[in-house]
Structure 1
Amino acid sequence: MEVVYWFRREIIMSNKITLSEQIYDELYHDITDQRLVCGQKLTLKVLKDRFNVSHTPIREALTRLSENGLVTYYSNCGVTVTEFTETDIREIFQFIGELDALAIQFCKNSFTQAPLLIELGEIIKKGNKLLEEGNITEWKEYSEEFHVAFYRHAQNHYLNEAATRIRAKVEVLSCMYYQKPNVEKINEGHMEIYKAVQEHDFDRASEIMRYHLQYDMVYALNAYKDYQERAKEVSEQ
């Protein structure tokens, strides 16, 4: 891990124009992959030592993370990786479900259907192969890419901007429930949506997407509850 951080710091220092962007990217993935866990405090001193840079690009990166809802500023306490309530989780998945369904509707344009089908087909093919190999870590990337593909082909900047912010929180939660029984069900959902798109039934695809995200919400609620119980046990030891 130290080698990875050293290598990334070298990249960061070699391109000062994108300094805060690269710090943001690394912290983003640390949070969404839960190497930095919900409720963990982040101090400027620790981050300054880690990246070996001044406070300014770190503050800029933290501001972006805050805008995406991945960290929370508390007065007199600093910055903390965002935690969730049951209501938060329900509202997050309800909202992203509606956004994903809308993105599918925006893909009805005949000029976007063929490119969308080709891309979805490749994502499904690769995802199935990774599942057969038991490689859930890499499959996770293709699972997220399946949803993002609809936004690319919807070609609506405002829709994509809204989804990007909420999807960051979805990524944090999905990291907790991507276990084999769940991912097999999730993958089946992707196949059903893909089939509906193949049949040019975008209304049905949108409806399946809503149900798909409702199941994800249940997985997230259960996984986050388990996460909180484990964290409590650790704190009491």
Structure 2
Amino acid sequence: MQGVAKMAARERAYHELKYRILEGRLPPGTTLLETEVANLLSLSRTPIREALIRLEEEGLVEVKPRHGVTVRAQSLDDLAEIYEVFSALEVQAARLAAVRGLEPSESERLKSLMDQMEKATRSDDIERWSQFDDAFHSDIVSLCGNSRLQATLRQYWEQQYRARMAIIPLRIKPVQSDQEHRQIVQAILDRDSEEAGRLHQLHRDRTDRQALELLRRQAGKL
């Protein structure tokens, strides 16, 4: 039982800290001593130390002995590289989903998500739209049938999540994205992998450029 309790504490520390970082509750530049992190999560220092090692390996924090842990900021160059890899993998997922084909229940789920996004667009509810957009892209990845690609994409999704959350209030009405989503799904339903990949690449290129431009504007105001 002691080993299980230790594992549970380590996992809890890792997931709670990661959640707070990704959601911006521990913003970039935040520096805490190991004891302060332990008090924050009501855990001992050992699971905290183990969790911080994992988070440092993922590039989310920087640990300096006797100086504490600092939440790392992401530069525009960092994010441009992340988007390049993330988008290339997601485009391949769309191609593979088209090759695999969709079950009726899977296509209905994608259509439902697109309906929900368009409803949120009409209501000017960008936060709700972003939630459905996340679910939509996650669904396409889950339908590709390649578990290694899915696991790698999850890592890069987490790396770009903080930036995505930061620019939500700055985004324009996503009418064009809604239209592009419909086109991508139609290509997947037609099992046209080349067209699905082409359309998804165009979509990602445009949205990545838009995201980086919004981040540049935001950085210029700081």
Alignment deviations for residues 155-205 of structure 1 (CA, whole Å, 9 cap, x no partner): 222111211111111111111222341544433432332232233323222
Corresponding position of 1:201:
192
Corresponding position of 2:144:
154
CA distance in 2, matches of 1:135, 1:25: 29
Q: Which runs of 5+ in 1 are unaligned?
A: 1-14, 232-237
The residue type paired with residue 97 of structure 1 is: S
CA distance in 1, matches of 2:190, 2:102: 14
Q: Any idea what SS the aligned residue of 1:66 has?
A: helix
CA distance in 2, matches of 1:152, 1:138: 21
Contact 2:124 2:173 in 1 (8 A): no
Corresponding position of 1:12:
none
Instruction: Establish whether residue 48 from structure 1 lines up as the match of residue 38 from structure 2.
Output: yes
The residue type paired with residue 187 of structure 2 is: A
Q: Any idea what SS the aligned residue of 2:143 has?
A: helix
TM-score by length of structure 1 reads 0.77
Instruction: Establish whether residue 63 from structure 1 lines up as the match of residue 73 from structure 2.
Output: no
Per the TM alignment, residue 74 of structure 1 is displaced from its structure 2 partner at its CA by 4.7
Q: 1:106 aligns with which of 74, 96, 111?
A: 96
Q: Alpha carbon RMSD of aligned pairs, Å?
A: 2.7
Contact 2:9 2:47 in 1 (8 A): yes
Q: 2:111 aligns with which of 113, 116, 121?
A: 121
Instruction: Establish whether residue 90 from structure 1 lines up as the match of residue 90 from structure 2.
Output: no
In structure 2, do the counterparts of structure 1 residues 219 and 61 end up closer, same or farther at CA, with 3 Å as the change threshold?
farther
Contact 2:26 2:71 in 1 (8 A): yes
In structure 2, do the counterparts of structure 1 residues 46 and 75 end up closer, same or farther at CA, with 3 Å as the change threshold?
closer
Q: Any idea what SS the aligned residue of 1:164 has?
A: helix
Contact 1:107 1:113 in 2 (8 A): no
Q: 1:220 aligns with which of 201, 211, 220?
A: 211
Contact 2:32 2:69 in 1 (8 A): yes
Identity %: 23
CA distance in 2, matches of 1:110, 1:221: 33
Q: Any idea what SS the aligned residue of 2:62 has?
A: strand
- With 107-116 and 158-167 compared, the bigger mean Cα shift is at 107-116
Q: Any idea what SS the aligned residue of 2:73 has?
A: coil
In structure 2, do the counterparts of structure 1 residues 134 and 104 end up closer, same or farther at CA, with 3 Å as the change threshold?
same
CA distance in 1, matches of 2:49, 2:76: 30
TM-score by length of structure 2 reads 0.81
CA distance in 2, matches of 1:29, 1:212: 28
Corresponding position of 2:130:
140
Instruction: Establish whether residue 211 from structure 1 lines up as the match of residue 192 from structure 2.
Output: no
Q: Which runs of 5+ in 2 are unaligned?
A: none
The residue type paired with residue 139 of structure 2 is: A
Per the TM alignment, residue 78 of structure 1 is displaced from its structure 2 partner at its CA by 3.5
CA distance in 1, matches of 2:179, 2:16: 31
